[in-house]
Amino acid sequence: MNTTDKPLLVLGAGIAGITAALEAAEAGGEVLLVEREPYLGGRVARNHLYFPKLCPPLCGLEINLQRLQRNPRIRVLTSTSLVAAERSGSGWRVVLESRPAWIRDNCTACGECARVCQTTVPDPFNLGMNQVKAVRLPHAAAWPHRYILDHDACSPEELEAIRRACPVDAVDLQAQPTRQELEVTAVIVATGWQPYSPARLDNLGAGQLPDVISNVQMERMAAPGGPTDGHIKRLSDGQPPQRVAFVQCAGSRDVNHLPYCSGVCCLASLKQALYVKEQLPDCQVDIYYIDRRALGRNEDVLTRVEATEGVRLVKGKVGEIKPAADGKLSLRLEDVEAGRLVDASADLVVLATGMVPNLAVDGLPLEIPLDDDGFARDDESARIFAAGVARRPEEVAASTRDATGAAAKALVAARRA
């Protein structure tokens, strides 16, 4: 396909943005892929396993990252944000700002800098559930495979020690933010989501009771590189739970919180029930749900969980979680099939919280049409196309389908220049 020399701008390098960039570049387009984090992969990189196949998401990401590195038509900018945009001809003139690159591209990830660094910070990759060195790899399989530095967390003396420890002179303590202005043919918005804040669910003990965690925390807890080295346990006493409760629709389909269904939380909890049973076969798992939404091939996961001994699916809405006198948690719920309020017990509770589009929280300096919940719509006349969870709550397979469609629409729009 013969497009103009100007690139297509893809904002966000989660699975949707990476897919859109690859599809557009492999069809002949020039692409600029911009990610605000220092690494690619988005939320999927934080999952332990992913449905429907229940394989490690980093395998699929790795294949895409290799395609990306092999493709000369894709330029990747990490730690970079869009700070201004205005219409220019039929495309856009955009201003991108990159945060200071304290660690340069020649970093070999040898780890010598981390050996001299004593300062620790809450680990953003593990949702602040553990501490990490201020200079570190963002996560073990991060790409670019380059250390990052929390500059402001360290004293000037420590920064200097970190600089001197680097055998390849990759630490640049004088680094400054950089800006660049350029013309792009179209914009694909693939800025994804963030978890609904469990702190707003105080009736469910979130943020107050250490053994009430969210589904995204469970993903990290079960992952080998996670805050508990992959061990599922109670954060209060470090003990493996004997009874785990999954509370579905925690803040979802609720006019006081998120009115919509995030579409993935049922599957996420079913998958996480299997994490628990695999690691702790004698543990009882109770899943309290309103509806069981597992469409298409994802129904296999539901069937597998239903057939697993020691897993109970209870149609019931949990309204309250309180600490119990025996150190466990007490759940008050409406058992819909029994038609009455009942009390249940658990050692560990996982709240299935939904996905909030980043666009609804952070916004972008682009006029993107949003629906009532903050998900993006395409604006063909403005050459803005949305993909992945920026567009609607959905799983990885649907996000990649969307991304392929967005890439095609953006390339076609560019040909009309």
Ligand X SMILES: Cc1cc2nc3c(=O)[nH]c(=O)nc-3n(C[C@H](O)[C@H](O)[C@H](O)COP(=O)(O)OP(=O)(O)OC[C@H]3O[C@@H](n4cnc5c(N)ncnc54)[C@H](O)[C@@H]3O)c2cc1C
Return the number of the residue (44 or 311) whose C-beta is nearest ligand X: 44
Residue among 23, 24, 31, 35 that touches ligand X (CB under 6 A): 35
91: left (phi over 0), alpha (psi -120 to 50) or beta: beta
Contact mark string toward ligand X, 179..198, x via CB under 6 A: -----------xxxx-----
Interaction with ligand X in 56-95: which residues (CB under 6 A)?
81
15 is a contact residue toward ligand X (CB under 6 A): yes
Closest CA to 181 of 245, 97, 115: 97
14 lies in the site for ligand X, by CB under 6 A:
yes
Q: Judged by CB under 6 A, which stretch of 25-33, 58-66, 340-348, 354-362 contacts ligand X?
A: 354-362
Instruction: Spell 295-334 as b/e; 16+ CB within 10 A means b.
Output: eeebeebbeebeebeebebbbbbbeebebeeeebbbbebe
Nearest to 75 by CA among 180, 194, 2, 191: 180
Least separation, in Å, of the C-beta of 168 and ligand X? 28
Site map 203..232 versus ligand X, x via CB under 6 A: ------------xx--x-------------
Shortest approach of ligand X to residue 234 CB, angstroms? 19
Q: Quick one: which of 9, 16, 149, 274 contacts ligand X (CB under 6 A)?
A: 16
51 touches ligand X (CB under 6 A)? yes
122-to-26, 134, 138, 225, 272 alpha-carbon distances in Å: 39, 9, 12, 15, 24
- Helices vs strands, H then E, count in the chain: 9, 21
Query: How many Å apart are CA 155 and CA 137, to the nearest integer?
Result: 20
Segment near ligand X (CB under 6 A), from 8-16, 88-96, 226-234, 405-413? 8-16
64 vs 284, which CB is nearer to ligand X? Answer: 64
- Count of positions (residues) in the chain: 417
What's the DSSP call for residue 241?
Answer: P
Cα gap 34→25, rounded to integer Å: 14
Supply the minimum distance, in Å, between the C-beta of residue 367 and ligand X: 15
Residues 393 and 193: their CA atoms lie apart, in Å, by 8
- One residue of 383, 395, 409, 411 binding ligand X per CB under 6 A: 395
- Contact code string over 361-380 relative to ligand X, x by CB under 6 A: -x-x----------------
Q: What is the binding site for ligand X (CB under 6 A)? A: 11-17, 34-37, 42-44, 47, 50-51, 81, 190-193, 215-216, 219, 264, 268, 271, 355, 358, 362, 364, 388-390, 394-397, 399
